[in-house]
Structure formats: structure tokens, C-alpha cells
Structure 1
Amino acid sequence: MASILAILFLILSPLAGELWSSDVLPQMLNLYTATFIISGILSELNCIEQAHLQFKGTSFSAIAKQTVPFFYILYHYLHEQPIHLIDLTLVTIVGVLAATCISFLFTYRYVRFSKVIDFIWIKKIFNFGKYSFAIWLSTMLSGSIDQMMLGSMLSTSASGIFNVAMRITNLTDIPINSMSTIVFPQSSKRYEEDGDSSIKYIYERSVGVILAVLVPSALFLFIFADYVMLIIASAKYQEFVPLLRIILVNSLFAPYVRQSGIVLASSGRTRINFYMVVLTAVLVFLSNLVFIKHWGIMGAAYATVFVSIIMFFITRSVLKKYFNVNFLHPWIYAVAFYPEFLKKMLKRNA
């Protein structure tokens, strides 16, 4: 799958350069194809570790993956040196490679090689993987369609402004991504033991914990959006603070939608999950096409929230049908999270 994606990038990179009027973009995309192969190995190692309900390697590898580019940018910022995009792409590849090496150190004891090829398992993995690959590809596209459309319909600077706001709101994705890493292996295991009844509790509880952590951070960013934008970006982005606030509203729907994909995949319903992700990508494209045309950069933010609300109600119907999920229960778990967390901390320090 990674090889297919790498070939597609190599073929389409000249077209991307023409579409966004960039000479350096094709070179960046050609170099970046190396990450698909390396990331394929990294994902395999992370999945093996998570299947054993261990997460240290995944955590440290994720930190390494982001730390390498961070220090490269920090060094050039402190020394007031220009950052070249080709060099940044190479540094990103180094970061992925470092993450893979770290993950291997934590996972190699679980890795087993077989001399016999089990075609039954190959068929099962392929049937599961074809939908997982399509889901990943559709998710990647739906997460970047808005920025690509801003770049082509308005300008690359408009895409950059929207990217700044998205980067800030990505801070609210930390609890979602962390919980997703834990929930998938746990829900798969519980599903095999207890069936659909176990998914209801796992989904509602995991979304509740995410909301408990996410809502205060999102509220903080919403209230102090002016200062956050000034510190992270600069004064020239201050007029786009309303853009940041609108996108932050989207974070309240994200846990419901994101965790629905996790529990659907872990319960073997990858086809349904695939249809929902494809629908999301189509809605993102159509809504951005209309909204950007009418409201410019703000239209991309409106489209993001609009699609999230639609997918929230679709997700609600699907999970109600299969698992009898109650979408109010996560808020009950969210409120209960604080006294439970405080009790555990006091008990640990006693």
C-alpha cells in the first residue's frame, strides 16, 4: 500500500507543482515518498506493540518524530537563518527514521518471523487492509482538502493562514489521538470476548475522558485566542483570530466522530467506517467549494464545522443502531472523570 501511494506521489508531483505554481513542491513530494516506506514499517511496529497493550515505544517514537524537525526549525530561528523547504523535507524523513529505530527497540522482542506463508491470514489482512488503506487515504485527503482548495481558489498565503489556525487547534487533538491509540487494541480484545455490548461502554467512556481533558484546553484557547495567536504566530495574523475560534468549535464534535471510526474498525465493521470516511471527504470538498467562494478564508472554517455537525448526527445514528450508544453518556463520564482522577492522585500521594 505504501509503495502504491509513493508511486502515485511520484506521478502526480509535477501536476501539484503546476496547480500551486511552485517549482520546489514536486521535489519535496518526490523526496517525501521515502516516508511512506519508512512509516509503513513504523506503523507495523507500533501495531505489534499496541497489540500487547504496551505504549511506551509508540509514545517515544512519536516524540522523536516531531522533535527532530522542531529542533531544526528552532536552531534556524535562534540563529536567524532561512529555512529551505527541501532541507525541511529531509529533516522530516530523518525524524520518521529515528522514530522507527526507537519503536524497533521497544518492539523487537515481540516480532516473530515465520518460514511458512499463511495465505488464509494474508487474505484476512488484505480484506481488512484494503478498507483501512482507503480510510487512511480518505482521512488524509479530507484533512487537507480545505488547505489545498484555499491554495488553488485564493492563494498560497490564504492556505498558510488557515494552516496556522489548524496547527494551534491541533493541540486539542492530543487527548483524541492518545485515547485512540489505547482504545483500538482494548476494544478489539473486548469485542472478541463480549461482543457488541462491550463497545457501548468503551466508546462512551473514552469519549467522556477525551471531553474532560479537551473542553478546558479548548475553552482556554477560545478565551485567550488573541494572545495565543500573537505568541505562536505574530501580530500580522491577529485579524484571523475569529477563524481560530470557529475552528475550535469543531473540536467539540471531533471526539464523537473520531472514536466512532475506532470502534467500528475494531469491531470488524471497516466497510461501514470506509463509507463514512468517504462521505466526509466528499462533504468537505463540496462544502469548501461553496463556502470558500462566498466567504473566502472564513468559508473554510465554516465548512469544517458544517461537515463535523453533519457527521456527528450520522455517526449518532450508526452507533445507536449497532451498539445502542447514548450520546449524552460521555458528558456524564466527563464530569465523573475529575473526582475520580483527583481521588487516584490523592491515593497515590498518600
Structure 2
Amino acid sequence: MSDKLNLKNIEGNVQIFRDKQFEEQYNEIYKLVYKEINKVESEKSKKYSDNLKIDLGEIKEIHYKILQTIDIFDARASVLEIIITQSKGQVHKFNDFDKFLASNLTSPYPTREIIIQYNFITSNKEGNSFEKYRITNELSSKVALFDYFIKNNPPFMLDMFSMISFSTAEICVEYSDYVKARSFFSAFEEWVQGCDKYIDLKVIEVIINIINKFAWIIKLLILTIFAYGSWSSICNYKMNIIWFVKFAITYSMLFLIIYKITDKLLGKIRATMFGCLSMSYIEINKGDENLIKKYSKYNNKNLFKGLLCGVSTILIGVISSFLYDIIKYLYGF
């Protein structure tokens, strides 16, 4: 009897030991799985402010560049998500690139932003665990943002928009291995460098800098021309006191008018040059095409206004040297 009890006790102890061993192994596996799933990945991003002309061809190119890079690392599972945001607030989502290409081609709403996200896993060098990666490519249309800005803000805030630096392309990579992550940054940078770009007129930037720094000198120069021309002519004539009083009143008024007109013209030149938009855009539907045409005309109109104001400022300077003769004619001297 005692032998049977001892045997049962031994078997019970063995079973308890096995249960505890299994529980410890289970807890250890659970901890490893939990740690792997909730592991904090490193993240790095890079922005570009180049004035890109992004069409469906350019989007295809960056998409296939990223896919080729993913294939290099033997991805075990990959998920694609594409999000399009349009000017009226519409948001479209796709999980298939071909469906994205076939959609929205006739949409009347301009594209403000496209986000293409790739999620995939791959094994590490030892092959005993998996690494998670998320690549997010964000493409923005400066033209669509500008259109939204001027429709929702007063005109005097246009200068503020011109001073803001917008990123037109950005890549963000969440990674386990930075060596692998660098391949995606390199692919994206190659794409940005090869992408078709809008060439800014450097003369616009030069004109804005001149007016910002030397507007007071330009106004002073024109007023000096006016004063010198009048002084030179006065020295050649004899005047009575009544004529001098009339002359002083008229001269002061013309002096103030010239100053105000010059100040207004220089301000107008500055505003029109600031208003010239760097044409960075996304063109994938009819709405984008119409918006690009609209702001191409808008830029040409601003350039014409700026040129007209510039010519007018020069004419004011020329006319200023002859204003004394006009004063003489008015008073019959």
C-alpha cells in the first residue's frame, strides 16, 4: 500500500514539474512574441522642396523603384496603400496600384496630396526572426495648396505664403536595419533628381531682393532728380514773391505726389513678383490640368503687371526732371 502511495506521489510530482516547465516555456515564448510584435522601430525621414512636375509616369517610376528595392531584401509579405487627397476634401484609398492608375483620370477636383505606403516584413541575416519596414512616400502639389490658400485667406496674407517653404516630396522609413533603409532613401533621391522640374526665373528673386533692400534709395533717387531739375531751372529766372508762394505750394504737392506714386509702384512690383507661383504640381486628372493652366496664366499676368510698373517707375523718374517746366507753364512764367 505504501509503495503504491509513493509511486502516485512520484508521478504527481513529475506531472507538476512538467506543468511548471511547460508554463515557463510558454511564458518565455509569449514574452518573445510580445516583444517582437511591439518592438519600437527606428524612423527617419527626408524632405525635398524642388519644384517637381509629377504626372502618372513619374509616380509609376518611383513606385517601381521602391518595389525593386523591396525585392532585393526578399520580402515575405507586402501590403500597399495609396491615399489621394483632393482640393474639395475628397479622400480616395487604393490597395492596388493598377486600380489607382485607372481611377480619377476625369475628376474635376485637383489633387493636393498623394501618399503611397508600403508595409512589408523580411527575415534578418541569421534567418531566425523577422524585421518590419514601412516606407511612406508623400507627394504634394504646391499649386493646389496655393489655390486653397488664396481661396480661404485674405489677399494681404499672400506674402506669408510666399515666405513659407513647402516640401513637395517626402520619404519616411520605419526600419529595423538602417543599412536596408538607406537603399530606399537612395532610390527616392534618385527619383527626385531625375524628375521633371519647373525652372524658376531667377530675375524674380533678384527684383524682390532689390526692392526689399533698396526701395528707399530708388524713391530718394527719383525725388533727387525732381529737386535737382527744379533747382537748376529756378536759378535761371527771376521771380516775384507771389509767384514764389504759388511755386512753393505746387512744388510741395508734386513732391508728395511723386513720392506716393513711386512708393505705390514699387509696392506693386514687389506684390506681383511675390505673386508669381513656383509651378510645382501633381497632374493626374482633368482638375489638375485646368488648375495648372489657370496658374500659368496667373503667373504671366503678374509678370506683365510687374514689367508695366517697372516701366512706369522709370518714366516717373524721367518726368520728374521736367516738372519745373510744367509748373512754369501753369503759372504763365
TM-score tier after normalising by the smaller chain length: under 0.3
Name the larger-Rg structure.
2
| Bigger share in helix | 1
Q: With the length of structure 1 as denominator, give the TM-score of the two structures.
A: 0.21
